[in-house]
Chains A and B, each alone.
Chain A
Amino acid sequence: RKEVEQDPGPFNVPEGATVAFNCTYSNSASQSFFWYRQDCRKEPKLLMSVYSSGNEDGRFTAQLNRASQYISLLIRDSKLSDSATYLCVVRTAGGYQKVTFGTGTKLQVIP
C-alpha cells in the first residue's frame, strides 16, 4: 500500500459544481497535512493547511479524519480557474520525520 494515495482523476465537472477529493495515508504517526495545487508546468503552490477541527477558506473546505486516516478537500461553486492538479501532503514527526506528496488529482472545470 502506498503511504499516501489519491484518485488521479481526471474529475471533469461543470462550472458551479461542488467537487470533493480524498487523500488517504497509511502512517498513523502523521501529524501535519496540506493541500497544494499545481498548474501545468508550474510549481506546487500551497492551497491550505488542514487542521484537526477542519477549516475553510472561501470556497474551499479541508477536513481531517484521523480515525479513518484520510483528508479531504471540498471545492464549492467551481470556477474555470480551479482547473489544476491538487496534491495532498502528509508529514510525520517525532523520531523519523518524513514528508510525502500524493500523486495528485486532476480537476478540469468545464464551461
Chain B
Amino acid sequence: DAGVIQSPRHEVTEMGQEVTLRCKPISGHDYLFWYRQTMMRGLELLIYFNNNVPIDDSGMPEDRFSAKMPNASFSTLKIQPSEPRDSAVYFCASSYGWNQPQHFGDGTRLSIL
C-alpha cells in the first residue's frame, strides 16, 4: 500500500528563492492537509483541501505561501520568496472523510539560508 508521498525529502536553498513542495495523497482519500512543524510552534495546519478545493487556508502565514491541488493525486505548496524563518519540516497528510484519521507523509525538511 502506497502511503502519502512527499518530495523532496530535504531542501536547502538561499533566501529569496522559490521553493516548491510536492505531495501525492493516498489514492481515494478526499482530504489533503499541509502542516508545518517547528520546535517553537509545534504542528500547525496551513491549509486543507476537500475534493481538490481549498477549504480553509487561514493557517497560511502570509502571501508568500500558496498551495494548489490541480487533481486528486497531486498538491503543491509554494513559498516565494523564501525567508530563513520558513525553515521547518513540512508535512502533507490525507484522509478518507473528515472524521477519519489522517495519514502523514515523511515530510520535507526545509532549510532557508
Chain B contact surface mostly: strand
- Bound-state CA distance A98–B33 (Å) is 11
Interface bracket on A: 20 to 34
Chain B residues numbered 12-67 whose CB sits less than 8 Å from any CB in chain A: 33, 35, 42-43, 45, 48, 55-56
Q: List 28 A-B contacts (CB under 8 A).
A: A31-B99, A32-B98, A32-B99, A34-B101, A42-B106, A43-B91, A43-B107, A44-B43, A44-B104, A45-B104, A46-B101, A46-B103, A89-B102, A93-B98, A93-B99, A97-B55, A97-B98, A98-B56, A99-B48, A99-B102, A101-B35, A101-B43, A101-B45, A102-B42, A103-B42, A103-B43, A104-B42, A104-B43
User: B residues bordering A, Cβ < 8 Å?
Assistant: 33, 35, 42-43, 45, 48, 55-56, 91, 98-99, 101-107
